[in-house]
Amino acid sequence: MSAFKYEKDNDGIVVVTMDMSGPVNAMNSEYHTAMNEAVAKLEAEEGLTGVVFASAKKVFFAGGDLNVLLAAKPEDAESFFAGGEAMKNDLRRLEKLPVPVVAAINGPALGGGYEICLACNHRIAFNHKSVQIGLPECSLGLFPGGGGVVRLTKLIGVEKALPYILESKRLTPEKALANGLIDATVDSLDELVPAAKAHILANKDKPEAAAQPWDTKGYRVPGGAVNSPKNAQLAVMAPTMLHQKSRGLMPQMTAAMDVAFQSTMLDVDTALRIEGREFTKIATGPVAKNMISTFFFQLNKINGGASRPANVEPMKTRKVGILGAGMMGQGIAYVSAMAGIEVVLKDISQSAADKGKAYSEALLNKRVARGQMDEAKAKSVLDLILPTDKNEDLNGCDLIIEAVFENIALKHKITQELEPCLAEDGFWGSNTSTLPITELAEASVKPENFIGIHFFSPVDKMPLVEIICGEKTSDEALAKAFDYTMQIRKTPIVVNDSLGFFTSRTFGTYLDEGAHLLTEGAHPKRIDNLGKSVGMPVGPLQVQDETSLELTRKAQETWAEMGVTDKWSNGDVIRRVIKDMITDHGRGGRHHGGGYYEYHEDGSKNIWPKLYDLYYKPEYKISDQDIKDRLMFRQVIETLKCLETGVLRSVADANIGSIFGIGAPAHTGGFIQFVNTYGLDAFIQRCGELEAAFGERFACPQIVKEHAKNGKLFA
């Protein structure tokens, strides 16, 4: 048993130390053999008083082998189910041993790792921030199928268990202890196995210490069965709330809730078997494939530095200057200070700069009030931000990020005026959402040190940064921007220069198609509801209101000044909407007094009544599916064009960028993965149908036809 070390001491306690051949312990074929052999040996062991499961790795146990899960196909369902049942049978035999079994958790125990812990009678964890405990499978399109749903539900009750299962929460040992997921903590690694042994010796003569609670006669799930009268509200409301949140697009969550509900009413063996059947359906289905591919493999690829020049040494940002203390600038200041970076927040007046710093103060106060940070730490973060209206305070910055209004002349003026404040080896970043970096860099004396760093609002919540390389941007500038993005704990995608880059131009097609549908006569509420039904966070009309119709108008003016027209549509539609909404009726969006919607003091909103007079045609006929496909395919087609023309550098950047930056439906795995799952030939055919019915903007990009001809998916 080379993968598991088996050591029995003089007290009859066996310590099984998991030490698999890979970098981490994981549920693969090596594990299955090692666990099966270990359990068989424990069952035959004479004079056994207890068992401790420990790990020789820094990670206690990493969970399932996602390569195996990714490869599972619907036709493999029966063999996949049988393999899962064999694995779960070993854990069932483990928890039926007539002696206490203790999990000594030295590092992260997530997914399958925590499922092993749940099969033990007692769980002790090293109380350190590096230790995480939980069941994150739902975030990867799966659910805890190794007994996790059944055992956690039976341990703490369905109402308490569901948030940990459905929301993929990761808990520190202290929180896991407080919420009943573990039983004890120790303050040092040296205490861990001795504490586990001490528990065994203190309880070796107590039969109840060797039995799982759900195997004890008369045991009732905490909180009762889901069909009991006191759980009537939970039984009705929980599925409704889940559907509102997932819109029926996350089958793993629906399945997990169903298994959790059944677990409260059935014996453990029956519940485990049901869990296995449901897990097989989910694991061999498309959503799991999409989410594993994107949220694990592609995200790890990006965060691992695949887009970063390998020939440049790591660079740490020490002092960052931020020009413009408005919505974007103040958010960038906050995340930079939270990362321990010295921040100079400059605006045209001291009062404007102070107001920008006050944004960080408000966020830090909230963290203190919630117990997420103490006052001393909050003060130290706030002290890193210097609000100023003086240029000289920027001297020595190794990075300056300009975050002013989208106007080329203004950005050129600021670059020329303040670029000399950079340190000798400093870099300049423009937080622009649409303007070409190559053109912005024309004002720089060192265009090789000029790069686009596009943040998303609100900066403190949005996880993505889009890094844009101009024609003269150097590898050093790209590496600097990449390292800074990782330093502030954001996910970087790297794209090449164009008007709108990737995220803005693709997002723009969603808004544009919503405008097309509106002006054709579709009911505005129907447009927004169907936008949400495909999995977008909000409908295209509502999000246009939030981002501002006025901003769209100004962008159109800027593009016209640059000689660019009709960028993402035929132009006539958006010009008509701008005239109707802004010129004729002064409705520039939510922050300009209202747009497509009217907004009320109590937080409610309704469609602006005049909108129906302007556009709605009751006689207009179009199917729900055509509306959904138009809203989705426009974005997918634009993403494919970005990949085809080299604006996007990788499929991973496309998928992660579309989800984290645009709000692409998570269950699709991103806009390029959507094509893989839809099927290349089927996608080409559907594009043809949409093009014939609604216009050439739905023409299928040639890159799809080439992949289909070669029989290759996008990877």
Q: What is the pLDDT of residues 288-334, one digit of tens each?
A: 999 999 999 999 999 999 999 999 999 999 999 999 999 999 999 99
| Rounded average pLDDT over 112-117 | 98
The helix-helix angle for 624-644 and 702-710 (nearest 10°) equals: 80
pLDDT of 559 above 70 = no
269 membership: H or E segment, kind and range = helix 268-283
CATH at 447: 3.40.50.720
Task: Tell me, yes or no, whether 230 lies in a domain.
Answer: yes
pLDDT of 268 above 50 = yes
Distance CA 176, CA 162 (A): 14
pLDDT of 565 above 60 = no
| Rounded average pLDDT over 144-149 | 97
591 in active site = no
| Rounded average pLDDT over 388-398 | 97
Q: What is the pLDDT of residues 660-712, one digit of tens each?
A: 999 999 999 999 999 999 999 999 999 999 999 999 999 999 999 999 999 99
pLDDT value of residue 201: 97
Q: What is the pLDDT of residues 451-492, one digit of tens each?
A: 999 999 999 999 999 999 999 999 999 999 999 999 999 999
In terms of pLDDT, which residue wins out, 405 or 376?
376
Mapping DSSP to helix (H, G, I), strand (E, B) and coil, where does residue 5 land?
strand
pLDDT value of residue 550: 79
How far apart, in Å, are the Cα atoms of 68 and each of 72, 80, 88, 273?
6, 10, 17, 20
pLDDT of 75 above 50 = yes
| pLDDT interval class at 568 (50, 70, 90) | very low
246 and 360 co-located in one domain: no
How many Å separate Cα 314 from the centre of its chain?
A: 25
pLDDT value of residue 487: 98
Least confident of 43-47, 297-301, 549-553: 549-553
Residue type, 150: V
517 and 607 co-located in one domain: yes
pLDDT value of residue 2: 74
Q: CA 508, 510, 512: angle at the middle one, nearest 5?
A: 70
First-to-last CA distance in the chain?
38
| Rounded average pLDDT over 426-435 | 95
How far apart, in Å, are the Cα atoms of 94 and each of 57, 153, 218, 487, 627?
21, 19, 22, 43, 53
pLDDT of 551 above 80 = no
CB 148 within 8 A of CB 118: yes
| pLDDT interval class at 495 (50, 70, 90) | very high
Task: Tell me, yes or no, whether 667 lies in a domain.
Answer: no
Distance CA 306, CA 482 (A): 11
Task: Tell me, yes or no, whether 301 lies in a domain.
Answer: no
Distance CA 606, CA 524 (A): 11
CATH at 550: 1.10.1040.50
12 and 144 co-located in one domain: yes
686 and 587 co-located in one domain: yes
177 and 268 co-located in one domain: yes
DSSP notation for 453-468: EEE-SSTTT--EEEEE
Residue type, 169: K
490 and 515 co-located in one domain: no
| pLDDT interval class at 406 (50, 70, 90) | confident
And the tokens for 657?
């960028």
pLDDT of 591 above 90 = no
pLDDT value of residue 564: 59
List, in order, residues 6 or more apart from 45 with CB less than 8 Å away: 8, 14
User: Which of these three, 428, 463, 498, is where a domain ends?
Assistant: 498
And the tokens for 483?
């390292």
Task: Tell me, yes or no, whether 618 lies in a domain.
Answer: yes
CB 322 within 8 A of CB 344: yes
| Rounded average pLDDT over 71-90 | 96
Domain span at 473:
319-498
362 and 456 co-located in one domain: yes
123 and 263 co-located in one domain: yes
User: Which of these three, 443, 471, 498, is where a domain ends?
Assistant: 498
- Which one is catalytic: 454, 516, 667, 707? 454
| Rounded average pLDDT over 517-528 | 97
Smallest CA-to-CA distance from 61 within 126, 92, 123, 105 is with: 105
How far apart, in Å, are the Cα atoms of 703 and each of 257, 495, 634, 684, 712?
40, 18, 16, 11, 11
- DSSP secondary structure letter of residue 488: T
Task: Tell me, yes or no, whether 299 lies in a domain.
Answer: no
| Rounded average pLDDT over 522-533 | 97
Task: Tell me, yes or no, whether 307 lies in a domain.
Answer: no
493 and 399 co-located in one domain: yes
pLDDT of 570 above 60 = no
596 and 485 co-located in one domain: no
400 and 454 co-located in one domain: yes
- The tally of CA atoms less than 13 A away on the side-chain side of residue 707 is 21
| Rounded average pLDDT over 273-295 | 97
Task: Tell me, yes or no, whether 275 lies in a domain.
Answer: yes
And the tokens for 348?
């045209």
| pLDDT interval class at 9 (50, 70, 90) | very high
Per the prediction, the chain carries an average pLDDT of 95
Task: Tell me, yes or no, whether 139 lies in a domain.
Answer: yes
User: Which of these three, 468, 498, 528, is where a domain ends?
Assistant: 498
Share of the chain above pLDDT 70, in %: 98
The total number of structural domains that make up the chain? 3
- φ, ψ of residue 651 to 5 degrees: the values are -65, -35
137 and 271 co-located in one domain: yes
CB atoms within 10 A of CB 310: 8
